[in-house]
């Protein structure tokens, strides 16, 4: 053990093993490196393709009847297929941490902006859906399948809880991990901002192809979510916008159903 230095003399330096370890450098986002077209095909097949097949199986199992059990099963399949693809193909295959994949901390100021955008985009989605239906010469009757899914027959309180959990929480988490964390990121590593935002949003909209109105509405939402993720590099923000947006839509719909307001 080293003896203390006499007063006025510098202390004897600590041996290397006793010196405190250097501070680790702050973590930085992993570079978005371009991947092959075969990887994109695997992303689309492993997430989108499996989800479509599983949805057909559920539809056949329930013989086309949509109940709260059908809705619950589809929400579960949505989460397993899309979040599972992100976990297996995006995180495990590439040896990334979830923070490197996109679930990283963000500037708190972004959260307030995200919540404001989530509320502001809701009427814009409605206008996009209305315009698309009007241009095609159809009306809101062709979104009946979507209505049956999010508001099936049965006890209103139970349906509300299941739908809020499935559409307002699980679906936004799974879809952001997949459509922004995998699909948008693939295009952004190869192309410029606008190409990546538009093409990935079109793929996102195709995953909601119940009607032309739903496709248009989802495309508008996808543009915002991709832009926010590109600027912040945090999937938590796009998840927050998606979740708040969907939850507001569910709350407004069930409030209208509880008050027996016309939905057409």
Among 99-113, 135-149, 169-183, the range with the most confident prediction by mean pLDDT is: 169-183
Q: Classify residue 219: in a domain, yes or no.
A: yes
- Residue 117 pLDDT grade (very low, low, confident, very high; cuts 50, 70, 90): confident
DSSP state of 161: H
Residue 264 has a pLDDT of 58
Residue 140 has a pLDDT of 59
Mean pLDDT of the chain: 84
pTM of the full structure = 0.84
Q: Classify residue 191: in a domain, yes or no.
A: yes
Residue 68 has a pLDDT of 86
Q: Classify residue 264: in a domain, yes or no.
A: no
Q: Classify residue 90: in a domain, yes or no.
A: yes
Residue 66 has a pLDDT of 79
Q: Classify residue 50: in a domain, yes or no.
A: yes
Whether 197 has a pLDDT exceeding 60, the answer reads yes
Whether 254 has a pLDDT exceeding 50, the answer reads yes
Whether 171 has a pLDDT exceeding 70, the answer reads yes
Among 12-21, 96-105, 171-180, 232-241, the range with the most confident prediction by mean pLDDT is: 171-180
Segments forming the whole domain that contains residue 134: 35-258
The whole-angstrom separation of Cα 117 and Cα 244 is 10
| Token pair belonging to 259 | 């008050």
Residue 20 has a pLDDT of 44
Residue 260 has a pLDDT of 77
Residue 262 has a pLDDT of 67
Whether 228 has a pLDDT exceeding 50, the answer reads yes
Provide the number of structural domains found in the chain.
1
Whether 170 has a pLDDT exceeding 60, the answer reads yes
pLDDT digits (tens, 9 = 90+) for 143-157: 666 777 787 778 899
CA dihedral 170, 212, 42, 91 (to 10 degrees): -30
H/E element, 213: helix 212-232
> Quick one: which of 199, 200, 204 has its CA closest to 215?
204
Q: Classify residue 13: in a domain, yes or no.
A: no
Q: Classify residue 8: in a domain, yes or no.
A: no
Residue 22 has a pLDDT of 43
Q: Look up tokens 């999937």; give the residue.
A: 235
The whole-angstrom separation of Cα 38 and Cα 47 is 14
pLDDT digits (tens, 9 = 90+) for 55-80: 889 888 877 677 888 889 999 999 99
Whether 256 has a pLDDT exceeding 50, the answer reads yes
Average pLDDT rounded to a whole number, residues 92-102: 94
Q: Classify residue 180: in a domain, yes or no.
A: yes
Q: Helix axis angle, 212-232 relative to 193-206, nearest 10°?
A: 140
């Amino acid at each position: 053990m080293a003896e203390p230095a006499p007063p006025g003399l510098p202390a004897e330096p600590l041996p290397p093993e006793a010196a405190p370890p250097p501070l680790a450098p702050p973590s930085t986002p992993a570079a978005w490196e371009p991947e092959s077209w075969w990887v994109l095909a695997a992303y689309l097949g492993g997430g989108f393709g499996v989800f479509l097949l599983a949805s057909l199986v559920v539809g056949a199992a329930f013989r086309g009847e949509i109940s709260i059990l059908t809705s619950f099963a589809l929400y579960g399949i949505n989460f397993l297929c899309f979040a599972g693809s992100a976990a297996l193909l995006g995180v495990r295959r590439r040896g990334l941490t979830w923070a490197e994949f996109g679930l990283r901390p963000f500037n708190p100021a972004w959260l307030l902006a995200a919540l404001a955008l989530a509320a502001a985009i809701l009427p814009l989605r409605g206008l996009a859906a209305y315009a698309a239906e009007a241009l095609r010469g159809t009306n809101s009757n062709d979104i009946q399948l979507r209505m049956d899914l999010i508001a099936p027959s049965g006890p209103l309180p139970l349906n509300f809880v299941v739908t809020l959990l499935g559409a307002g929480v699980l679906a936004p988490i799974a879809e952001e991990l997949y459509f922004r964390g995998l699909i948008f990121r693939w295009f952004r590593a190869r192309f410029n901002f606008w190409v990546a935002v538009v093409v990935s949003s079109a793929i996102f909209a195709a995953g909601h192809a119940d009607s032309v109105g739903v496709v248009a509405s989802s495309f508008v939402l996808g543009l915002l979510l991709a832009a926010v993720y590109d600027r912040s590099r945090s999937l938590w923000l796009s998840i927050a916008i998606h979740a708040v947006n969907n939850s507001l839509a569910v709350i407004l719909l069930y409030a209208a159903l509880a008050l027996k307001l016309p939905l057409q």
